[in-house]
């Protein structure tokens, strides 16, 4: 078990992030504050996830006492365009057609904040999709309803299993939490008990 010296708060409703953090051996509570996810239109896509992760953490700053706040934000980028969460099935279909047969980037930004310090970082994975048929895309949208996912897909879902022959980088970054980097960032705050 990883024994934390301060209580850890994961500021994310994402069941995937919660599962990954749990599987990595961390005990934590979940608290979320509504934060607008606007960012400057001139900001390079690679800077957006860390900017948004820090924005989510800043919402907790005045309540911070002895806790660690962990926030994250994930984007999908193709042709320097950010694909956010789709509004509906037709937007999801459009995004998946754009990703079909191509490489894109998934960038997850993370912020670890305590009263004393703030650390933000990003982790990037290059993801390769094979050509997806119209039927595969429609089936995926109907069965998995990927409306809460950047780029309209989850790597752990049907479309990821059958459509992604390879990737460069961490699978967990694509899922929404680069666990290896989070582990390193939290190292000053825990001991490993055997």
Residues linked to residue 108 through DSSP beta bridges, in sequence order: 74, 123
Q: Using an 8 Å Cβ cutoff, are 16 and 171 in contact?
A: no
Q: Which residue reads 């479309």 in tokens?
A: 159
Q: Which domain holds residue 82?
A: 2-192
Catalytic site residues? Answer: 73
CA 22 – CA 42 distance, rounded (Å): 36
Per-residue pLDDT tens listing for the chain (194 residues) = 799 999 999 999 999 999 999 999 999 999 999 999 899 999 999 999 999 999 999 999 998 999 999 999 999 999 999 999 999 999 999 999 999 999 999 999 999 999 999 999 999 999 999 999 999 999 999 999 999 999 999 999 999 999 999 999 999 999 999 999 999 999 999 999 88
**Structural domain total, the chain:** 1
Q: Which of 172, 167, 160 is nearest to 136 (CA)?
A: 160
CATH of the domain at 71: 3.90.950.10
């Amino acid at each position: 078990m990883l024994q934390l010296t301060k209580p850890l708060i994961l500021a994310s409703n994402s069941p995937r992030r919660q599962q990954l953090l749990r599987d990595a051996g961390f005990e934590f509570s979940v608290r979320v504050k509504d934060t607008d996810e606007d960012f400057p239109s001139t900001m390079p896509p690679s800077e957006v996830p860390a900017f948004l992760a820090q924005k989510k953490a800043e919402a907790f700053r005045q309540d911070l006492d002895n806790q660690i706040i962990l926030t994250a934000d994930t984007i999908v980028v193709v042709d320097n365009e950010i694909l956010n969460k789709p509004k509906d099935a037709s937007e999801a279909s459009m995004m998946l057609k754009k990703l079909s047969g191509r490489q894109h980037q998934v960038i997850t930004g993370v912020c670890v904040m305590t009263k004393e310090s703030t650390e933000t970082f990003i982790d990037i994975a290059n993801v390769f999709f094979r050509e997806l048929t119209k039927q595969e895309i429609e089936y995926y949208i109907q069965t998995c309803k990927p409306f809460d996912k950047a780029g309209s897909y989850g790597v752990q879902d049907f479309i990821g299993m059958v459509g992604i022959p390879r990737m460069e980088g961490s699978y967990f970054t694509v899922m929404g939490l680069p666990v290896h980097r989070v582990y390193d960032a939290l190292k000053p705050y825990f001991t490993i008990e055997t």
